[in-house]
A and B are shown apart, each in its own frame.
Chain A
Amino acid sequence: MRALSLGRWLRGAVRARSDGPGRARPVPGSPQKVTVDVLDHLEHLALVDFRDSEGVERLQKAIQFADQLHEVNTDGVEPMDSVLEDRCLYLREDDVTEGNCTKELLKNAREKVEEYFVAPPGNIPLPKLEEQETYLQSS
């Protein structure tokens, strides 16, 4: 079943969330069940609908890619935020050097009104868990 295989992929992501940012190491032999609730939470955070096979596949690939990080043994290594963290933060003078490129920026807009970008009204609320006929539940 698709849901179960997805659950295996989600394992890493779910643990990372509960352990804090970027510090998670997989604990061998502790399978974590991915519930439909977790999937629902992810959908709401990302405002992405996983309800088709393409969406699920994309998610699987993303998790698979990220899981490669766990193959590196980091035992006894001090965690770091970034490879730049021992560099100096360059301080810029407070001068205006950019802007005035409305036309170029708006070229990227699918829809615009005068000089405004047009977006849908607010965030589109996803249907509540009990209301949704998801791909996962129906498969």
Chain B
Amino acid sequence: MVAAVRGCGGVWRRVWQCGAGGSASLGQCAAASSARGAVAPAGKSGLAPWVPVVGLEIHAQISSNSKLFSGSQVQFAAPPNSVVSFFDASLPGTLPVINRRCVEAAVMTGLALNCSINKRSLFDRKHYFYADLPAGYQITQQRVPIAVNGTLSYSLCTDHKMSQMVTKTVRIKQIQLEQDSGKSLHDDSRSQTLVDLNRAGVGLMEVVMEPDMCCGKEAAAAVRELQLILQTLGSSHAVMAEGQLRVDANVSVHHPGEPYGVRTEVKNINSLRFLAKAVDYEIQRQIEELENGGTILNETRAFDSKLGCTVPMRDKEGKQDYRFMPEPNLPPLILYDTKSLPANINHQQVVNIDRIHERLPDLPSVKRAKLVEQYGILPEHSFTLLNEDGLTEFFESVVKRTQMKPKKVIGWILNDLLSYLNQHSLTVKESPVNSSMLADLLNLLEKKEISSTAAKQVLGELWKGEGKTPLEIVKEKKLELIQDQEALEQICQAVIDGQKNEVMAIKAGNHKVLNKLIGLVQRKTQGRSNPVLVKQLLEKKLLD
């Protein structure tokens, strides 16, 4: 069942979390979802309930060949300071020249997130001093960003079995184009900082989400959906471990009906799991602090993944004054749609919003709906398919090559393939069993040449990656079903002869005992008998 709920009415209460710890309380948040700002009934503790509020700022590195304002290469893990232009190093006399691809990526992302695209957006300088920001300012879009007022729908499951899914919506305040900074490596022992400017000037899209979330699980689900969207669009690789997607969380708590509490900003979050943990830790910390009579400071905190907690960041203490000013070296960024497109304009100098809109690929939500409709699989299965890179393609390729119904194929994909890959920490692309091998195997099963027990055995052999086909393994291990009905009948008769008590029970009307006999026949034939056929044979012998 998929229900649509706007925002989250999650109300946390300390008593709910007793003995549960931070992560186990996630379920309550979603379970309590109702209208936003709902007041929970007074609990046994008599304590007023707390409403957590979570907003996110997400920096996504744009996937492009060259940087936002210079022609140097965008390359992860290049030798230090090797992909740096004079502009990136902020040498005097250099000027920014914007990369058309970065503009298009931001427009594409804005459209995918249902934003209004500003046909005229502006660049600003945001000043702060740091060794990896050689200009002393970052070019960003503070006043008029490229895209505003969007929405992102995401789903999360409300139980551990993935069978209850809820769809929620978070508002997107804006998307702004900006420069990335360089990287600092701190060498504490020698008390120095090593600066690498390779990342300086790489194009970023900062996606600002309104505080419409209420727990770590929601925040992680929203970011996961955004990540899938970015990867589908190709506007960002969005790999968190490589810093292509960086998330800062703004967290506060308040009592229902009261204004929002003082918020803290949690940085240094480098995986979805840590995002959920960091947010929940911070909510819990703030509740405890306030209930013990303390106050929350408007501060920046870092998530320590080893300790699983947030700690104040010393470096950026105190209120920042960024001294925003208009960027004098960049005129306004003008975008067109088909209606406003002037005649006689060089098409290389045009970004046409309508053209980009037409070429948007199917977004994850549409892909899921199509999978459900086309193959008759469950919605939660479509989520799992899209969640693993390449799994949807694998599934569709198997479906194409086999006579087995997609509904049955999905079971083999999710229960056998995926659990094997997860157990061995493999990606779909690294799977030793490719889609045609699995399809061949499922065809043997579908044509009743092997039993499903035998099919699992063959799959076990296929994982070894020895290059044998399923049919070869079946022949080699003699796993084909016994087609000789007479031979099978003899085996059935032998089992009947050996199980006097069971036979009496069946004859007395206890038909469940038949299953035991079927099992015995299966064992005798080493899984090579068709259980349906065996059942028929046994029934004929015992009940006719």
Contact = CB atoms under 8 A, between A and B. Distances in A.
Interface of A: 17, 21-22, 41, 44-47, 81-82, 84-102, 105-106, 108, 113-123
A67 B487 CA distance: 106
B64 A115 contact: no
Nearest to A42: B321
Contacts of A45: 127, 321, 323
B195 A99 contact: no
A102 B325 contact: no
Contacts of A93: 100-101, 348
B65 A94 contact: yes
Contacts of A102: 79-82, 84
B497 interface: no
A122 B315 contact: yes
A127 to B, nearest CB: 14
B15 interface: no
Contacts of B197: 105, 117
B97 interface: yes
Contact of A116 (B81, B85, B101, B328): B81
Q: Which of B103, B330, B331 has the most CB of A within 10 A?
A: B331
Given A41-B321, A86-B331, A100-B82, 11 more contacts: A81-B326, A89-B334, A91-B103, A92-B66, A92-B98, A94-B66, A99-B84, A102-B81, A119-B131, A121-B191, A121-B193
Contacts of B196: 115-117
Contact of B328 (A84, A100, A101): A84
Interface string B302-344: 0000000000000100100101111111111110000000000
Nearest to B194: A116
Interface string B175-207: 000000000111110011111110000000000
Contacts of B325: 21-22
Contact of A82 (B100, B129, B187, B328): B328
Given A116-B185, A122-B186, A92 B99 contact: yes
Nearest to B315: A122
Contacts of A21: 324-326
18 contacts: A45-B321, A81-B326, A81-B328, A84-B331, A90-B98, A91-B351, A92-B98, A94-B102, A96-B65, A96-B66, A97-B71, A101-B86, A105-B81, A115-B80, A116-B195, A117-B81, A119-B131, A119-B193
Contacts of A41: 321
B338 to A, nearest CB: 18
Closest 3 CB pairs of A and B: A97-B71, A119-B131, A94-B101
B134 to A, nearest CB: 9
B130 interface: yes
Given A22-B326, A99-B73, A115 B348 contact: no
Question: How many B residues are at the interface, by size bracket?
Answer: 35 or more
Given A81-B326, A84-B328, A89-B98, A117 B195 contact: yes
A71 B527 CA distance: 97
A96 B80 contact: no
A95 B102 CA distance: 12
Contacts of A108: 89, 91
B280 to A, nearest CB: 29
B349 interface: yes
Contacts of A123: 129-130, 315
Contacts of A98: 70-72, 85-87
Nearest to B80: A115
B249 interface: no
A41 B319 CA distance: 11
Contacts of A101: 84-86
A95 B87 CA distance: 16
Contacts of A117: 81, 131, 194-197
Contact of A89 (B65, B87, B333): B333
B333 to A, nearest CB: 5
Contacts of B330: 84, 89
Contacts of A122: 186, 193, 315
B72 A99 contact: yes
A113 B348 contact: no
A93 B348 CA distance: 8
A95 B71 contact: yes
Contacts of B131: 117, 119-120
A98 B72 CA distance: 5
A77 B73 CA distance: 43
A119 B323 contact: no
Nearest to A87: B331
A90 B79 CA distance: 31
Contacts of B99: 91-92, 94
Contacts of B328: 81-82, 84
A92 B331 contact: no
B326 to A, nearest CB: 4
B122 A81 contact: yes
Contacts of A17: 323
Contacts of A97: 66, 71
Nearest to A82: B328
B454 interface: no
A115 to B, nearest CB: 4
A120 B127 CA distance: 19
A113 B103 CA distance: 36
B83 interface: yes
Contacts of A86: 331
B193 A105 contact: no
Nearest to A116: B194
Contacts of B326: 21-22, 81-82
